[in-house]
Structure 1
Amino acid sequence: MANMVSGNTIAEVARLIGDAARANMLAALMGGQALTAGELARHAGVSAQTTSGHLAKLTAAQLLAVEKQGRHRYFRLASSEVAQAIHALMSVAASGPKRHHPIGPRDAALRLARTCYDHMAGRLALALADSLVREGHVILADGAGIVTDAGRLFFRDFGIEVEGLRTRRPLCRTCLDWSERRPHIAGQLGAALLDKVLDRGWVARVPESRALRLTRAGESGFTATFRLPLDWKDPPLRLAP
């Protein structure tokens, strides 16, 4: 039976996330990789001692989990539910009042392709979702996704056995892309897609960032396999209100 959640409990979790340094740490971990305390300190812009205190609080609240490898300790988000909560806050924050700051190269790279916990986000992920729907491989509606029979064959040819992805997590669901305001594919299928394109060398992780770098092999591979339009990398048109 699930624990009853009180307003005080919600407020305590919100208080932990609401600190700017801790929020920066949690956002950095949305890249899906476990990070050391030193790496998180750089993302948060605080001292090692301050970072240690923040990490202790986040771990005690079960927002973070710790993995030990030899003398090193690595921190990651404790669950996909935590990642969904952080992503939802990112979407709300991105929809708020404009913060008058220019979009730098780092932001442009994140908008093109990035990790969203264990799956892809950005214009690349949206182009893939559009392609999979257009080709009849998946059906997306109301936050959920269904892989069709044609989709199972397509993913098998791509190296993903859909039947082997069955776990307690949803096979296919949508995740609202905070930068583009449209859904991309998450769930087990989204995670499997990210793993596969990383293995194929179509994208590469950018150090100290959630951004994914599109490789030359990826340029041709994505276009040929998923039949992406030539203008998929272009920013969407913003119509005046």
Structure 2
Amino acid sequence: MSRIVPDPLIAESAALIGDPTRAAMLGVLMDGRARTAKELAGLAGVSAQTASGHIAKMTAAGLIAVAKQGRHRYVRLAGPHVAEILERLMTLAALARPGNRARGAEDEAFRHARTCYDHLAGRLALDLVEALVRRDVLRRGHDGFEPTLSGERWFRALGVDVARARCSTRAFARCCLDWSERRDHLAGALGAALLKALLARGYLERRREGRTVDVTAAGRRFFAEEMPPPRASAAADRAGGEKAAEQQRA
């Protein structure tokens, strides 16, 4: 029987990401924002020298990109493809955790609404996508979403340049598996443009640190209008039908 030889690149990448300090650094960068090497060291709880060594290894592996501006080096994820890999690893980690683990308020806020690199994730993102699919704003495809004609108007009214998103070199409207909910939210160029529009209109606010985003008062009104609960919608349809029938009988 021939011996199966493991791919050294897989083992090397797994070892890079699996280091607790590097995993912490990558987790910080999952919000899509660039950090100076000094900031990253502080957030990861290590010295600048230690952080520099980790940054060099992750840069060589293509996990992060470093740009020098003046005296500072700014570090960010190498791209959305790295964020997708990390999100899927988080999904695997969540499957291994006991389901009855106690959750605090910060954990619940994180699960409700957060950034996944440059697009919206969490329960809010999933509820929004499901509502848009119900309303025929979006349609599910084999590996992504596609806005309908009326859906393109909906996105444009929100300030999303759909045509520009289509011309992007990255995937247009792909599915991204949400690690906490284990369902797909909207990613790709359209997902990034949607999050940008929601932030620009003041419906969502980013926190100074971390990936959690907060829904503003204006945002609560917006999402309540755009995401009517399925049962409420069905009840409204039934009520409307009954009223129309009564009017016909009269």
The bucket for the TM-score relative to the shorter chain is: 0.7 to 0.9
Select between 40-49 and 172-181 the one with higher mean Cα deviation. 40-49
Q: Which residue of 1 aligns with 2:168?
A: 167
Gaps of 5+ in 1: 1-5, 232-241
Cα distance in structure 2, aligned partners of 1:105 and 1:198: 23
Alignment of 1:200-211 (within 5 A): 200-211=201-212
Cα distance in structure 2, aligned partners of 1:141 and 1:70: 45
Q: Which residue of 2 aligns with 1:235?
A: none
Cα distance in structure 2, aligned partners of 1:43 and 1:68: 20
Q: Which residue of 2 aligns with 1:184?
A: 185
TM-score by length of 1: 0.87
Cα distance in structure 1, aligned partners of 2:159 and 2:228: 19
The alpha carbon displacement at 1:99 in A equals 8.2
Select between 194-203 and 104-113 the one with higher mean Cα deviation. 104-113
TM-score by length of 2: 0.84
User: Helix, strand or coil for the counterpart of 2:169?
Assistant: coil
Cα distance in structure 2, aligned partners of 1:106 and 1:203: 17
Select between 117-126 and 33-42 the one with higher mean Cα deviation. 33-42
Cα distance in structure 2, aligned partners of 1:214 and 1:230: 21
- The RMSD of aligned alpha carbons is 1.9
Residue 98 of structure 2 is aligned to residue 98 of structure 1:
yes
The alpha carbon displacement at 1:70 in A equals 2.3
Q: Confirm or deny: 8 A CA contact 1:202 1:221 kept in the other structure.
A: yes
Q: Which residue of 1 aligns with 2:244?
A: none
Cα distance in structure 2, aligned partners of 1:228 and 1:53: 50
The alpha carbon displacement at 1:230 in A equals 9.9
Alignment of 1:43-82 (within 5 A): 43-82=43-82
The alpha carbon displacement at 1:68 in A equals 2.4
Select between 97-106 and 166-175 the one with higher mean Cα deviation. 97-106
Q: Which residue of 1 aligns with 2:112?
A: 112
Q: Which residue of 1 aligns with 2:245?
A: none
Q: Which residue of 1 aligns with 2:218?
A: 217
Q: Confirm or deny: 8 A CA contact 2:127 2:227 kept in the other structure.
A: no
Q: Confirm or deny: 8 A CA contact 1:202 1:219 kept in the other structure.
A: yes
Cα distance in structure 1, aligned partners of 2:195 and 2:228: 17
Residue 40 of structure 2 is aligned to residue 40 of structure 1:
yes
User: Helix, strand or coil for the counterpart of 2:131?
Assistant: helix
Q: Confirm or deny: 8 A CA contact 1:156 1:162 kept in the other structure.
A: yes
Q: Confirm or deny: 8 A CA contact 1:140 1:173 kept in the other structure.
A: no
Q: Which residue of 1 aligns with 2:8?
A: 8
Q: What do residues 64-123 of structure 1 show as CA deviations (whole Å, max 9, x unaligned)?
A: 101223222211001221111111111111111328753122211111100001100011
